[in-house]
């Protein structure tokens, strides 16, 4: 019978919490497989899917390999633990050309033949069937794996498909990610989801200074990253009043610094409302004026919960590489005005002093502006 | 109610044209290539539409080939007309992306592409264009009406000068913003290939055509059942073809009166903008009456567009077909000063516009520019 073996990653290190991590991982796997029929089984340090529609096997693999916490997958044959069945299954996974070796793991020590002998015998059967093949024990092109389990069944498989690793989403707390629509923020969201964080997104929208297309782009990006975050809700915050107020009353060069401080305050209010304990941004040190240490100090000072910046040490090229991998790049580069470009000062301050920022900001009625922005929120649940 | 001033992007389909399209889907749905008498009637309808379009556009001979739209007609003209693997192609940076990017593709296939200059109002610099022609010029592409500025090029003159210099050069003009908006007489223009599209003249999207002069041989764009003289296989979009001929007839009947109304609409807008500083009309002379392209200093066209949207006024910011790129290639090609280059909006009229809604647009445009500037620089 054809089965899918799912191996999980570092959660086996978690000692007494292991059950908790595993339960979350299993529930995440079941969530991505909600449209499939299958039977779920647990085995030692792995899960096994049985009785699924074999014509949809590629779709199942694609869904599961993007679940954080999954280390790798294999398509295997599950056969009774006897040499005849094992040999027949091994022939199905034998390569057509090149070099190979057979790797045997005998978890069931009651099985009468030692591992090495099983490998040698099955290797012989494969060679008999295809004399063009060669055995290479050290650097083979292909490996045929035989895993003799305690339950009288053996898994035989070839290729191992790499999955995304990381920690199961839901085991790393809850955070609010600021999604601008650019390249960086979806990557930041991906990085935190990879460490098990459950995410909710906030987007600042300034119609008519930013377009409905820019808002749609953010929702499209949210849909792409939902593949990894499993669930996604975007709070779209009306930001026009704040932007125009800052623009009217504060020195031009402080526009971005003060704007970012407002975004941080609003993100924190949203976080607290939804029981989230962190804010996530796509900042990378020194990338733009608002991402110098001094600017980050100014914006960070309004937050009372941790602000995670998973891209802080990344070069733009490295960020782009991940965004291409997770398929957000093409959407991120669509050319719409976003809220940071429209009032972009000619010479933004790169090293704002916090005392001075506080002084220039003091002309604004911060609480009312934040309240109004919070009241303007339109919540979009990404399906 | 929506006040729609982006008719270069696309137009509203007329009700009677929509009904005609439905009719050819629900009662006259037969495949023109099949053997029944019903099919023969459909085939005859297509032939009649083809003849009618040719006559309406002033071509006594030559062929009208139907395509899925303007872009496909441009591609068929450009890819289909190349008879040699070596040689040069002349184009300007002001061409629509459907031409510009198709020619750029040929560049990557090893053809030499020569880029001719464009004048600040969007017209082709005729002398510069013709100077690039030599006895290796395979194809010359020069659009009739510029889709962003409205500049009407002297297609007849350009064609004549090219043919005098090297008669073997195939001449192609993109007439997509010209047909139904300015007078078009293909015999008079003299070009070898000329493209146009239905959805710019109150017909549906999905239908376009390429005029091919007698004696010009094209190679096929699509292979299959041999429809459209073997040059564009695929079951004909019959409804679109019939609708295109009907829509074209209507557009040409209305052309003189529309042109007059549109010129007066332009004046209304100009008058309203007298109280606004720092703006310019990109093309003032030899411009399509249907297009008014305006550049405002220091502001962004996209933001102005969204400000007008608050009053249900829909305008464009240049070509909708290249809106996936932030900077307008054409604004760059015409050398628009940096202060103005991002502040371009395109107002394009149709017969559905009324003097009343033009007044609303004129007022709100002046008001929004002033408001936006006050927000941005008003401290």
Q: Domain check: are B26 and B142 in the same one?
A: yes
Give buried/exposed letters for B77-89 (b at 16+ CB in 10 A, else e): bbbbbbeeeebbb
pLDDT tens column, B163-193: 999 999 999 999 999 999 999 999 999 999 9
Residues B292 and B207 reside in one and the same domain: no
Closest residue by Cα to residue B244 from B71, B75, B66, B76: B66
Choose between A104 and B320: higher pLDDT: A104
Beta carbons of A203 and A232 less than 8 angstroms apart: no
pLDDT confidence bin for B376, thresholds 50/70/90: confident
CATH level 3 topology of A2-162: VC0802-like (3.30.2130)
Checking if the pLDDT of B207 tops 70, the result is yes
- DSSP alpha helix (H) spans, chain A: 18-32, 57-65, 83-93, 115-129, 184-194, 212-229, 240-249, 255-273, 293-300, 316-325, 329-332, 339-342, 354-361, 366-375
A153-157 and A70-80 strand pairing? antiparallel
Which among B249, B279, B296 is the end of a domain? B249
* Cβ–Cβ < 8 Å for A325, A164: no
Q: What is the pLDDT of residues A83-93, one digit of tens each?
A: 999 999 999 99
The CATH number covering residue B84 comes to: 3.40.640.10
Looking at B206, B225, B249, the residue that finishes a domain is: B249
Q: How many Å apart are CA B262 and CA B220, to the nearest integer?
A: 39
Are B89 and B166 a contacting pair, CB within 8 Å? Answer: no
B325 CB neighbours in chain A (<8 A) are: 335
pLDDT score for B325: 57
Domain stop point among B249, B275, B292: B249
Same domain, B46 and B175: yes
From A301's Cα to the closest Cα of chain B, the distance in A is 28
Whether residues B356 and B208 share a domain: the answer is no
Q: What is the CATH number of domain A174-381?
A: 3.40.50.620
* Residue B325 touches partner A, C-beta closer than 8 Å: yes
pLDDT digits (tens, 9 = 90+) for B17-39: 999 999 999 999 999 999 999 99
- φ and ψ of A265, to 5 deg: -60, -45
ipTM score of complex = 0.71
Q: Please name the member of A247, A334, A342 whose beta carbon is closest to the beta carbon of B303.
A: A342
Please tell me whether residues B225 and B368 are part of one structural domain. Answer: no
Taking any CB pair shorter than 8 Å as contact, residues of chain A touching chain B are 207-212, 244, 247-248, 334-337, 342-343
Domain of residue B130: give its range: 15-249
pLDDT of residue A329 exceeding 60, the answer is: yes
Rounded-to-integer distance, Cα A21 and Cα A25, Å: 6
Q: Which residue of B has its CA nearest to A331?
A: B324
Q: Tokens at residue B335, please?
A: 């050398």
What letter does residue A137 receive in the DSSP assignment? S
């Amino acid at each position: 019978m054809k089965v899918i073996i799912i191996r999980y990653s570092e959660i086996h290190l978690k000692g007494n919490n292991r059950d908790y991590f595993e339960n979350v991982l299993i529930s995440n796997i079941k969530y991505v497989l909600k449209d499939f029929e299958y039977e779920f089984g647990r085995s030692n340090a792995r899960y096994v899917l049985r009785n699924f529609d074999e014509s949809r096997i590629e779709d199942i693999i694609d869904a599961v390999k993007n679940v954080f916490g999954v280390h790798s997958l294999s398509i295997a044959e599950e056969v009774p633990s006897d040499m005849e069945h094992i040999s027949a299954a091994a022939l199905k996974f034998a390569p057509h050309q090149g070099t190979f070796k057979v790797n045997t793991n005998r978890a069931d020590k009651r099985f009468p033949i030692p591992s090495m002998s099983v490998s040698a015998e099955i290797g012989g059967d494969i060679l008999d069937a295809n004399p063009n093949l060669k055995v290479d024990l050290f650097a083979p092109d292909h490996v045929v794996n035989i895993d003799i389990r305690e339950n009288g069944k053996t898994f035989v498989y070839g290729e191992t498909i790499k999955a995304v690793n990381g920690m199961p989403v839901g085991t790393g707390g809850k955070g609010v990610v600021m999604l601008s629509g650019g390249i960086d923020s979806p990557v930041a969201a991906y990085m935190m989801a990879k460490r098990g964080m459950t995410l909710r997104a906030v987007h600042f929208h300034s119609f008519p200074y930013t377009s409905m297309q820019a808002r749609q782009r953010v929702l499209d990006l949210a849909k792409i990253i939902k593949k990894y975050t499993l669930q996604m809700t975007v709070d779209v915050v009306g930001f026009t009043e704040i932007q125009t107020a800052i623009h009217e009353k504060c020195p031009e060069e402080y526009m971005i610094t003060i704007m970012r401080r407002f975004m941080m305050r609003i993100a924190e209010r949203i976080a607290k409302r939804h029981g989230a304990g962190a804010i996530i941004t796509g900042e990378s040190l020194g990338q733009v004026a608002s991402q110098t240490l001094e600017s980050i100090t100014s914006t960070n000072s309004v937050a009372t919960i941790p602000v995670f910046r998973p891209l802080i040490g990344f070069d733009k090229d490295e960020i782009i590489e991940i965004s291409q991998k997770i398929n957000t790049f093409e959407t991120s580069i669509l050319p719409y005005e976003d809220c940071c470009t429209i009032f972009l000062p000619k010479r933004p301050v790169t090293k704002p002093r916090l005392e001075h920022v506080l002084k220039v900001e003091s002309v604004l009625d911060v609480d009312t502006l934040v309240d109004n922005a919070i009241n303007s929120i339109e919540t979009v649940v990404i399906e | 109610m929506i006040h729609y001033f982006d008719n270069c992007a696309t137009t509203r389909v007329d009700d009677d044209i929509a009904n005609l399209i439905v009719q050819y889907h629900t009662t006259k749905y037969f495949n023109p290539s099949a053997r029944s008498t019903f099919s023969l009637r459909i085939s005859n309808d297509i032939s009649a539409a083809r003849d009618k379009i040719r006559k309406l556009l002033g071509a006594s001979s030559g062929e009208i080939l139907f395509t899925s739209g303007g872009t496909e007609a441009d591609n068929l003209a450009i890819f289909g007309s190349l008879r040699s693997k070596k040689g040069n192609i002349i184009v300007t940076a002001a061409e629509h992306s459907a031409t510009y990017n198709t020619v750029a593709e040929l560049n990557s296939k090893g053809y030499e592409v020569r880029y001719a200059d464009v004048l600040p109002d969007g017209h082709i610099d005729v002398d510069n264009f013709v100077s690039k022609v030599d006895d290796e010029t395979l194809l010359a592409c020069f659009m009739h009406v510029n889709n962003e500025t409205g500049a009407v090029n002297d297609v007849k003159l350009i064609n004549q000068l090219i043919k005098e210099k090297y008669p073997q050069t195939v001449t192609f003009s993109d007439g997509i913003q010209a047909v139904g908006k300015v007078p078009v007489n293909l015999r008079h223009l003299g070009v070898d290939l000329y493209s146009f599209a239905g959805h710019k003249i109150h017909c549906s999207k999905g239908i376009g055509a390429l005029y091919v002069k007698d004696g010009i041989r094209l190679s096929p764009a699509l292979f299959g059942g041999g429809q459209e003289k073997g040059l564009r296989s695929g079951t004909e979009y019959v409804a679109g073809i019939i609708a295109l001929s009907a829509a074209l007839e209507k557009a040409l009947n209305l052309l003189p009166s529309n042109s007059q109304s549109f010129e007066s609409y332009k004046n209304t807008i100009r008058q309203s903008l007298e109280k606004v500083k720092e703006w310019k009309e990109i093309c003032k002379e030899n411009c399509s009456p249907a297009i008014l392209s305006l550049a405002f200093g220091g502001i962004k066209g996209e933001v102005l567009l969204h400000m007008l949207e608050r009053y249900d006024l829909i305008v464009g910011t240049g070509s909708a077909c290249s809106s996936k790129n932030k900077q307008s290639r054409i604004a760059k090609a015409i050398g628009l000063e940096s202060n103005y280059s991002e502040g371009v909006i395109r107002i394009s009229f149709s017969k559905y516009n009324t003097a009343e809604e033009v007044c609303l647009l004129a007022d709100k445009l002046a008001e929004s520019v002033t408001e936006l500037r006050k927000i941005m620089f008003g401290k």
